[in-house]
Amino acid sequence: MKYHYDFAYFQKSADYVRSKIDFTPEIAIILGTGCGPLADEIEDAITIPYEEIPNFLVSTVSDHAGNLILGTLMGKKVICMNGRFHYYEGYDFEQLTAPVRLFKLLGVQKTILTNAAGAVNTEYAPGDVVILKDHLNFFNVCPTRGPNVDEIGPRFFDVSDIYTKDLRAIAFECAKRTELKVHEGVYMYFPGPHFETAAEIRAARILGADCVGMSTVPEALTAAHCSMPLLGISLMTNMATGVRDEKLCNGEVSETAHSVEEPFKEFIKDIIAHL
């Protein structure tokens, strides 16, 4: 074992962040591709670069920033991660527990995970939004593997309501007020960094996936481990491989995310106001 991710390890990050703020954040938000502009709206913002935080990780993806931003948004005390960590960057799965464990130790009560994803469901279109009701994780990995951190959660834990039903209901109420098309669906995790093959996407559809992506699931499992109420919101930036006869590129992902940036931001803000 390369590292020992015990309670003290995670506490060190939390102690540092706590020393920079004089409030308890209530809602945590991890911003996915194209969701960055939300961070600019946080009032009385305290920005902490990831590099400064002991035992934390640093973003290596060029279009992912690397700051923790704490402040007030829609009247709520929030902690926001502008830039997230992915397995494809080379981290161990165990390291991917760091963000949500930091939230938990700071006293956060609800977490929102946003991401860019490819649409598997052919009824969806780029620019649509999916409120996650569940996920498929067939890569045999859980970030809480290794010695269990008993202070944070139990060895074995339930994931039957991993994307909390009550929070999903709130998000659906907010969906009535957005111009975006909002669905409820299942996210399938692929570790990346390559996009999926057409055969993998056909298999994903047969298995019940509505969209696919390379993030969110490690954080969602970490949230379930520490009983953190959770909302997962995916922005469909492209149709997944093989749905259309065209090649996938990250440019399309960024372009679509950019094109619905404003209504997507307003949708997330409305959710935050009502959580």
Shortest distance in whole angstroms from residue 107 CB to ligand HPA: 31
Of 55-63, 88-96, 145-153, 236-244, the segment contacting ligand HPA by CB under 6 A is 236-244
Contact between 256 and ligand HPA by CB under 6 A: the answer reads: no
Contact between 214 and ligand HPA by CB under 6 A: the answer reads: yes
* Cα distances (Å, whole numbers) of residue 112 to 4, 10, 145, 180, 259: 28, 20, 23, 18, 21
What span, in angstroms and rounded, lies between the C-alpha atoms of 63 and 255?
A: 12
Tell which one of 29, 98, 149, 212 touches ligand HPA (CB under 6 A): 212
Query: Which residue's beta carbon is nearest to the bound ligand HPA?
Result: 118
| CB of 47 or CB of 250, closer to ligand HPA | 250
SS3 232: strand
Main-chain phi, psi angles of 260, to 5 degrees = -115, 15
| CB of 7 or CB of 138, closer to ligand HPA | 138
Site for ligand HPA in 105-144 (CB under 6 A): 116-118
Question: How many Cα atoms within 13 Å fall on the side-chain side of residue 234?
Answer: 35
Shortest distance in whole angstroms from residue 256 CB to ligand HPA: 9
| CB of 69 or CB of 221, closer to ligand HPA | 221
| CB of 41 or CB of 196, closer to ligand HPA | 196
Cβ neighbour number for residue 47 with a 10 Å cutoff: 16
Shortest distance in whole angstroms from residue 151 CB to ligand HPA: 34
**Closest to 241 measured CA to CA, from 86, 123, 122, 138:** 122
What span, in angstroms and rounded, lies between the C-alpha atoms of 194 and 250?
A: 10
What span, in angstroms and rounded, lies between the C-alpha atoms of 274 and 138?
A: 33
Which residue has 């060190």 as its token pair? 12
Total residues at interface with ligand HPA (CB under 6 A): 14
| Residues of the shown chain interacting with ligand HPA in the complex, contacts defined by CB under 6 A | 116-118, 190, 195-196, 212-214, 237-238, 240, 248, 253
